Amino acid sequence: MKQTVIRRCLSLVAVLALTIGVSAMPANATNIGTLAVGSSFSDTIASNGPTFTQDYNFHLDGTGAELTVLATALSQTSGSFGVDLLKISLFDSASNLIASASGAPLVGFDSFAQSGLALGPGDYLFTVFGDVTAGKEAFVSVSLAANQISGPIPAAGLMLLTGFVALGGLALRRHRGSKDGPGALAA
């Protein structure tokens, strides 16, 4: 009876240790460091497949500027190399998806153009996932760049467009009202 209880307790401890060990594995991410305005980072990924993934941690500079991240991934396509799918994604420090793109052999995005969110200083995660063509290897070039956003933000542009439409509608109403004679607009 004692041996059975001890075995079960040891089994439970082993299962708990395995569960904690699997869930607490450190992320295998490349730390880029600080990505300042106008700077870039590039890397290459080689894989025998069938899939590959690579994560990149980086920090955007706290210059007070509103930033966008430009990201691309390009895979080599030849007799020995091929990728059926590339997926790139950008996440903030709370693991919220900001921007993503997928396709092959070339994918890319401008985080501000896709999400409408200007990025501020903080930590971000960029991930690359790929499906390697059967019987081939993957060779992928990855690049990231940070740039300052210039021009009006999309919400202001939409508001400006709405104002122009309203003014155009008012002008059309006045024009139609003048055809009906003087005082046609008076109600």
Task: Inform me whether the pLDDT recorded for 21 exceeds 50.
Answer: no
* Cα–Cα distance list, 81 to 42, 107, 128, 129, 167 (Å): 20, 17, 17, 16, 57
46 in a domain, yes or no? yes
Residue 44 lies inside a defined structural domain of this protein: yes
Question: How many domains does the structure of the chain reveal?
Answer: 1
Is 35 in contact with 61 (CB distance < 8 Å)?
A: yes
Given a cut of 50, whether residue 24 has pLDDT beyond it is: no
* pLDDT range class, residue 148, cuts 50, 70, 90: confident
Position 164 pLDDT exceeds 70 = no
> What would the mean pLDDT of 129-143 be, rounded to a whole number?
93
pLDDT tens digits, 60-99: 986 667 888 999 999 999 999 999 999 999 999 999 999 9
Report the pLDDT value the prediction gives residue 38, as an integer from 0 to 100.
86
Q: How far apart are CA 129 and CA 122, in angstroms?
A: 23
Residue 9 lies in a domain: no
Domain that holds residue 142: 27-148
27-49 tens-digit pLDDT: 578 899 988 888 899 999 999 98
Nearest alpha carbon to residue 111 among 58, 32, 52: 58
Query: For 9-37, what is the mean pLDDT?
Result: 61
Check which CATH number belongs to the domain holding 48 and give it: 2.60.120.380
The pLDDT, as a whole number, for residue 178 is 61
Residues 6+ apart with CB under 8 A from 110: 68, 69, 70, 99
Query: Is residue 8 domain-resident?
Result: no
